[in-house]
Amino acid sequence: MASGTRRAPARRAAVADRGTAEAPRPAPNPAGLAAELAGLGAPRRPVYAADVELMLAQTAERPFSGKGWLFELKHDGFRMLAARARGECRLYYRRGGDARHSFPDVVEALRTVRAEDFVLDGELVILDPQGRSSFQSLQKRFQLLRRPDIGQAARRLPATLFGFDLLALAGHDLRGLPLRERKRLLRLVLPPDSPVRYADHVEEHGEAFYEEVRKRDLEGIVAKRADSPYRAGRWADWLKVRVDRTADFVVVGFTEPRGGRAGFGALHLAWYDEGELTYAGRAGSGFDEAELAGVRSVLEAARRPSCPCRGPAQPGRGHHWVEPRLVAEVRYKEWTDEGLLRQPVFLRFRTDKRPKDCVRDRSVAAGTRSAAPPDPPTERSDPSRRVVRASAEGAGSRIKFTNLGKVFWPEDGITKGDLIEFYRAVSPWLLPYLRDRPLVLTRYPDGIAGKSFYQKDAPRFARDRVRTTRVWHGNSTRAIDYFVCEDVDSLAYLANLGTIPLHVWSSRTASIDLPDWCILDLDPKGAPFAHVVRLALAIRRLTEQAGLPAFVKTSGSTGLHVLIPLGAKCTHEQSRSLGELIGWLLTSELPEIATIARPVGERGGRVYVDYLQNAHGQLLVAPFSVRPLPGAPVSTPLQWREVNARLDPARFNLRTVPKRLARMRDEPMSGLLAAEPPELARALERLQRQIERGERHQRR
């Protein structure tokens, strides 16, 4: 295998990444390594893996050879960034999600890397007995949710992380160094015989390497300029050559099935060419029976009377057209002279990609048989990709996920599968606010543009899946069996029901009459958001003067929520009185921007300070809950220093919040449930004195 300037036969290179044993190498000396990095001109500055934008490869039409090029095996797995900092190891998916829960064996292996701090780029795979990466096995592991199942799978289907680039080492940023140097340093710090392996390469002989890869039915190769720096985005310094060509297309219609086939015959496909949706052909093979039936229902819901694209689409009987919402990945041989796909085969639906992202590469000339496909912006290794199935069963949790490709946020292209993956990603931070607490669902079976319904009482079919608790309301003779979400399985199950926002009680089942917090909901309803910020800071000042801690989060809509921990030491009525007292103080101090008048018509353009949500049975949208609004905003805990004139709640959404959490050492509101119960009587006395001072000031 190649290392440095050494060259190796292509046949050996094609299989070397399977993990041949190598001689032990001495661990690098920290002092010598720091001096070497400084000598190479690597700047000393921190690199945070959660903030790194990946370097991506363009697509090459055919393999080639050449001096100054390194050729690596293209694995069929998940692109990952791995890091270690201050003794803590992290693992991130390409979109920023935390992968530690799913692959703890790889995280543990990162501790064997012979460097105190580093950031490396690589591909996580599961190898079959022949040493080839098995994407199907990887998907099985990824779908597991329960920790015991993940632990068993780690022994049965161990994962391997092939590191192919080193972005940071020993406090130095290596991204400006030539690739050859970055790989040399990577080889130096990676231990032999570890689940974190060095992705070796062949120099110059790309065509022979590709031929060996083709013979062994592997994924393809990646060609990289040996002197290239690491730059965010897609660059011609990295070129991928797949054994089969694949590209992503927008589904614009379907044909009726023939013979004994169910569902549909073929999908009509298109992509954007110079801003216009252009017909690209149809794919009728590659589907299984479950997909044929399940996808037909999704297509029927999106029917439209006419073709949404230009080009040689086939009109007439048996051809139906749909709104361009779904994205499909297709394998094909080449392009016809008419600019249509030749021998297309459906691979999978892309739930991580928007239709407008399916753009035809400018290098693809219409009518050119040898034209190269466009390069999709995300690899098939993206774990957020899901096949739309009528029933896709999670291997460990036994949850039957349904309609994962259904678009829930039409303007943003966010699907039901994306929603489930978000809740799974944030579950370590969300679940503490849900456990042992009555939960109310708002379900959107057809997404935010469809009908929704509010569900307090858990249906019988769900009670063997998710824990419930029975609550009697006042003197009512009717009890309600509320959901109680205890674990990731339950959370995923509720999301699969089409649940978008999660609303919780302020009290737990064991102390149902004693709330854990008092909430003040700052609702602008048209008032400037700057006034919301000003009032939140005023609440913080008032609570500090009263000796009360306070926490803040976005509502996920237009306002902010300020929460005061109570530690289940007072009643709902006392909590409501505390909120009312603070609300009265705010309106007295800032009457021009604050009001406690509930009717919208009486607010006069002021921010409504809502303290009424502190009554028994009232609800709070849970921290990290997604809202059914355009952009998929998320109710997000904030640090108080973030509450300023630059605060924009829209920045916190389904796509950005997992990355934000991955960067944070502590969740900003974690103290809400752990805080010592306040001395409420003393706090109320202090607030009452402030009211009296205000009244005396007004009389003067």
pLDDT for 632-681, tens place per residue?
999 999 999 999 999 999 999 999 999 898 888 788 998 888 766 667 76
- When pLDDT is averaged across residues 24-45 and rounded to a whole number, the result is 79
DSSP calls for 82-109: EEEETTEEEEEETTS-B-TTT-HHHHHH
**Where do runs of H (alpha helix) occur along 118-190?**
135-142, 147-156, 179-189
What per-residue string of b and e applies to 283-303 under the rule 16 or more CB within 10 Å gives b?
bbebbeeebbbbbbebbebbe
Give the C-alpha separation, 310 to 557, whole Å: 39
Q: What is the pLDDT of residues 236-247, one digit of tens each?
A: 899 998 877 778
Task: Please state the pTM of the whole predicted model.
Answer: 0.48
CB 29, CB 137: distance < 8 Å: no
Residue 66, pLDDT > 60, answer yes
CB 654, CB 418: distance < 8 Å: yes
Residues 6 or more apart whose Cβ sits within 8 Å of residue 350: 248, 327, 328, 329, 376, 378, 385
Structure tokens given for 205 = 């002989």
CA distances from 594 to 319, 534, 535, 625, 649 (A): 59, 10, 8, 26, 20
Give the C-alpha separation, 465 to 127, whole Å: 33
Report the alpha-carbon angle 288-292-295, nearest 5: 125
Q: Where are the domains of the chain?
A: 10-242, 244-405, 517-615+670-687
- When pLDDT is averaged across residues 189-200 and rounded to a whole number, the result is 90
CA distances from 109 to 23, 119, 220 (A): 19, 14, 27
- When pLDDT is averaged across residues 128-142 and rounded to a whole number, the result is 79
Residue 5, pLDDT > 60, answer no
Residue 121's pLDDT band, with cuts at 50, 70 and 90, is very high
Residue 122, pLDDT > 70, answer yes
The two most distant CA atoms of the chain are separated, in Å, by: 94
Count of Cβ atoms closer than 10 Å to residue 281 Cβ = 25
Count of Cβ atoms closer than 10 Å to residue 117 Cβ = 18
Q: What is the pLDDT of residues 301-337, one digit of tens each?
A: 899 998 999 888 776 778 999 999 999 998 876 676 5
Q: What is the pLDDT of residue 496?
A: 92
Structure tokens given for 268 = 């009509």
What is the layout of strands, in order, in the sheet containing 517-523?
Answer: 594-595, 607-610, 517-523, 560-565, 551-554, 637-638
Structure tokens given for 143 = 């779908």
Please, which contacts does 364-371 make with residues 24 or more away whose CB atoms are closer than 8 Å? 364/335, 366/273, 366/339, 367/335, 367/337, 367/338, 367/339, 368/335, 369/334, 369/335, 369/336, 369/337, 370/61, 370/334, 370/335, 371/61, 371/334, 371/335
User: What letter represents residue 179's amino acid?
Assistant: L
- Residue whose entry in the numeric block shows the structure tokens 């935390």: 98
Which residues face 433 on adjacent strands? none
Pick the CATH number of 244-405 from 2.40.110.10, 3.30.70.1560, 2.40.50.140, 2.60.40.10: 2.40.50.140
Residue 366 phi, psi (nearest 5): -60, 135
Pick the CATH number of 10-242 from 3.30.420.40, 3.30.470.30, 3.90.550.10, 3.30.465.10: 3.30.470.30
For the domain spanning 517-615+670-687, the CATH number is: 3.90.920.10
Q: What is the pLDDT of residue 99?
A: 85
Q: What is the pLDDT of residues 514-556, one digit of tens each?
A: 999 999 999 998 899 999 999 999 999 999 888 889 999 999 9
Residue 86's pLDDT band, with cuts at 50, 70 and 90, is confident
Q: What is the pLDDT of residue 699?
A: 52
Structure tokens given for 592 = 């021009």
